[in-house]
Chains A and B, each alone.
Chain A
Amino acid sequence: MIRFDKVTKIYSDNTYAARDLSLHIRPAEFVSIVGQSGTGKTTLAKMVIAEERPSKGRVIIGSWDITAVRSADIPVLRRQVGMVFQDFKLLPKKTVYENVAFALEVCGVNQGHINRIVPQVLKVVGLNEKRDKFPHQLSGGQRQRVAIGRALVHRPKVLVADEPTGNLDTINAQEIIELLLKINTLGTTIMLVTHNKDIVNRLRKRVISIDDGTIVSDQQSGKYII
């Protein structure tokens, strides 16, 4: 589903975020990408949605080689790959409902479909009763659930979560992980980027550890080792 083929990423200040890195994430897999801050985890997530481009190598999503994707095609890619961020990235002037509906509105989906899908998604993430609240009226965990809901409305095959629990307390963090697991059981590939040791150890899913832009371990039912 996600394939990195000998990917190297060098930033303009000559720091390496990836060094000849290859990995393959299969469909419907739940994979945690772990490592300390600054090791290149987030860069990998950004390359999946073409926010960053590899300096060398290829990135393939499904059967689509997005290494040199045209900027006009990026919106199409982002409608197929859902992304969740540590800082939620919600539109502050839009309500919960509007934030989720927005992802459909931008691609011209008709209103009838939006009216059907959005309440379903809000139900999945457990926010149907908060639909008219603005982000600043919600807790961190609720905000992250809105972000996950927004990522889900396109029914993406892949969901990339970049430190989704970074700003949350333990209970909220656990709830978010359980939500991601639930989404995974419905068939969505999950790429979880994190440095939360407890969460990773409890998951007992595939763990890829990264250090200085290279993979140092890849375990099928792994633990946080760095």
Chain B
Amino acid sequence: MLITVYRTSKFAFQNVWRNLWLSIITIFILTLTLLTTSLVATLNIVADQAVQAVEEKINIDIYFKPEVDEQDVITAQVWLQSIPEVKSVRYVSRDEALEKFKASHANNPNIAAALAELTDNPLPASLVIQAYALQDYAVITQQFEASQYDTLVQDKNFSDHQLVIERLSSIIRRLYQGALVVSLIFIIISVIMMFNTVRVAIYAHREELGIMKLVGATNWFVRAPFILEGLVYALVSSSIAMVLLWITMAAATPYVNNFFTGYNFSLSLFFQEHFWYIFAFQVVVSIVLAVGSSMLSIGRYLRV
């Protein structure tokens, strides 16, 4: 048993070494397939985070009339929170609004002077609403306008946002669909290329396979070196793909992080945290591709 394992390993490494060009090409195509798949997956993750980031930026502000009691605002907040589409409702009191206004215009002496003149706080209390999804804002708007609380409102930025929200949501949806189709096409092309490369490699060995059978090798003995060869290709390509992916991530991180400033997302951190998952995924995919395609191609040459 041990001697058979040793010999199949020896034959596998001899195959890799003595067909070096074919081995290099197989590893190259396999690495390309893994890299394409990983980059497409990364792009999807970044796109997903971008959608979330944009969604987080969008909210609806409802400004209440100055005479409205704080208790009524809080009742409206509780009612809004009971709407299933609503993710969160934050109450901004008049004092809080004033503090924020002051803070954001601290560098403007004119505004500071104007505020100092005022005896009364001119800013209204408001509710900041966030929905789970972009399309939910329209539903929330409709429900609020039909409710009793609509009369308490002085101003709201529903309609300002509505058009932007609708456009953005449709653009993102189209981009996402487009990216998905392109990714699928890329993945299918690389998988077919990989299958083809392995088929060519096996085709180059077809005479050898027949000879092995003619001198008394069992089917398993013929197959085993190819399984092992596939495993070697899988491990080498996954490692190369991980290094390339790491370099790509390192290069892209400043740009991606710049886009996500203020949000809790870092590409390099994401890569570090998921390193072993990504590597395991790549190893499994490459084993399935390399070993699977060689097993499929080898079958026909074993009928000697």
The interface of chain A, by Cβ under 8 A from chain B, is 49, 51, 71-72, 74-76, 78-79, 83, 89-94, 102-103, 105-108, 110-111, 150, 154
Contact = CB atoms under 8 A, between A and B. Distances in A.
A94 B10 CA distance: 12
B17 to A, nearest CB: 9
A102 B217 CA distance: 9
Interface of B: 3-4, 7, 14-15, 18-19, 207-208, 210-219, 221, 304
Contacts, number: 51
A106 B3 contact: no
B229 to A, nearest CB: 13
Contact of A111 (B3, B15, B304): B3
A150 B3 contact: no
Contacts of A150: 215
B211 A83 contact: no
Most central of B18, B212, B216, B221 by chain A CB within 10 Å = B216
Given A51-B304, A89-B211, A105 B216 contact: no
A116 to B, nearest CB: 16
A102 B7 CA distance: 10
A93 B216 contact: no
Given A89-B210, A92-B208, A102 B215 contact: yes
A173 B127 CA distance: 101
17 contacts: A71-B219, A74-B213, A75-B213, A75-B217, A79-B216, A89-B207, A89-B214, A91-B212, A92-B207, A92-B208, A93-B18, A93-B19, A93-B208, A106-B212, A106-B215, A106-B221, A107-B216
B216 A103 contact: yes
A75 B220 CA distance: 11
Nearest to B221: A106
Contacts of B214: 49, 51, 78, 83, 89
Given A89-B211, A110-B3, A75 B18 contact: no
B223 to A, nearest CB: 12
A90 to B, nearest CB: 7
Given A75-B218, A83-B214, 8 more contacts: A51-B214, A78-B214, A89-B210, A91-B211, A103-B216, A106-B215, A108-B3, A111-B3
